Amino acid sequence: MNILIINGSPKGKNSITLQTALYLEKSYPNHKYEVINVGQLIKKYEKDFSSQINALNKADMIIFAYPVYTFIAPYQLHRYIELLKDCDIDLSNKYVSQITTSKHFYDMTAHTYIKENCLDLNMLYLTGLSADMEDLLSEKGRLQADNYFKNLFYCIDNNIIEPIITLPKISKLKDIYQTKTIKKIKDSKVNVVIVTNYAKSDLNLINMIEDFSNKLKYQIKIVNVRDFKFSGGCLGCFGCTINGKCIYKDGFDDFLRNEIQSSDAIVYAFSIENHYTHSSFKCYDDRQFCNGHRAVTSGMPVGYLISGDYQNEPNLQTIVSARCEVGGNYLSYIATDEYDTENEITKLAKSLEFAFENKLTRPANFYGVGGNKIFRDLIYLSKGLMQADHKFYKQHNLYDYPHKEKAGILKMWLVGTLLKIPSAQKKMKGKMNEYIVMPYQKIIENTNNT
Residues of the chain with pLDDT under 50: none
Q: What is the pLDDT of residue 371?
A: 97
CATH number for domain 2-157, candidates 3.20.20.140, 3.40.50.1820, 3.40.50.360, 3.30.465.10 = 3.40.50.360
Q: Where in the chain is the domain with CATH 3.40.50.360?
A: 2-157, 187-366
Q: What is the pLDDT of residue 435?
A: 84
First to last CA, the chain: 71
pLDDT, tens only, 89-100: 999 999 999 999
CATH number of the structural domain 187-366:
3.40.50.360
Q: Say which amino acid occupies 239.
A: G
Question: Quick check: 342 and 201 in contact, CB under 8 A?
Answer: no
Q: What is the pLDDT of residue 164?
A: 66
d(CA 17, CA 24): 12
Q: What is the pLDDT of residue 1?
A: 96
Q: What is the pLDDT of residue 419?
A: 84
- Which has the closest alpha carbon to 389: 374, 397, 379, 401? 379
Q: What is the pLDDT of residue 141?
A: 97
Q: What is the pLDDT of residue 168?
A: 61
151 to each of 154, 155, 236, 297, 372, how far by Cα in Å? 5, 6, 31, 43, 32
pLDDT, tens only, 160-173: 997 766 656 655 55
Q: What is the pLDDT of residue 165?
A: 63
Q: What is the pLDDT of residue 223?
A: 98
Taking the model in full, what pTM does it have?
0.93
Q: What is the pLDDT of residue 163?
A: 74
